[in-house]
Amino acid sequence: YEKFPIPASRSALVGVFVARFVDHVRVAVTGAAASAFRLVTFEKALAESFDPASLLGLDVDSARLLDDLHGGADYRAHLVGVLARRAVARCQNGGG
């Protein structure tokens, strides 16, 4: 799990959870939208190659993301990709 905190509250502006199981991968996002959601496209890419680079070029639709004083929807979409890659790297390094 990786998160980008809101400085005032330390809650997640965006948080990304990556879990690798024997036969599948799960990627979930919190803080970026009105409710948590899974990223199936990220899951499929990571199931083929569990490497941060496999997520490069995958986009998150910013139309469904929050846009408020803490961060715009496009910024949150960018953070999802960055944090997902960091979470995968953390898993590879035995940190999660």
Q: What is the pLDDT of residues 2-48, one digit of tens each?
A: 999 988 888 899 999 999 999 999 999 999 999 999 999 999 999 99
What is the pTM (predicted TM-score) of this model? 0.93
Residue 32 amino acid letter? A
39's CB contacts (< 8 A; 6+ apart) are 27, 28, 29, 60, 80, 84
Q: Which domain holds residue 85?
A: 2-92
Residue 68 CA neighbour count, 13 Å, CB half: 11
Whole-angstrom Cα distance, residue 62 to residue 78? 9
* pLDDT for the residue numbered 93: 85
Beta bridge partner(s), residue 27: 18
CATH number at residue 50: 3.30.390.50
Tell me how many domains the chain contains.
Answer: 1
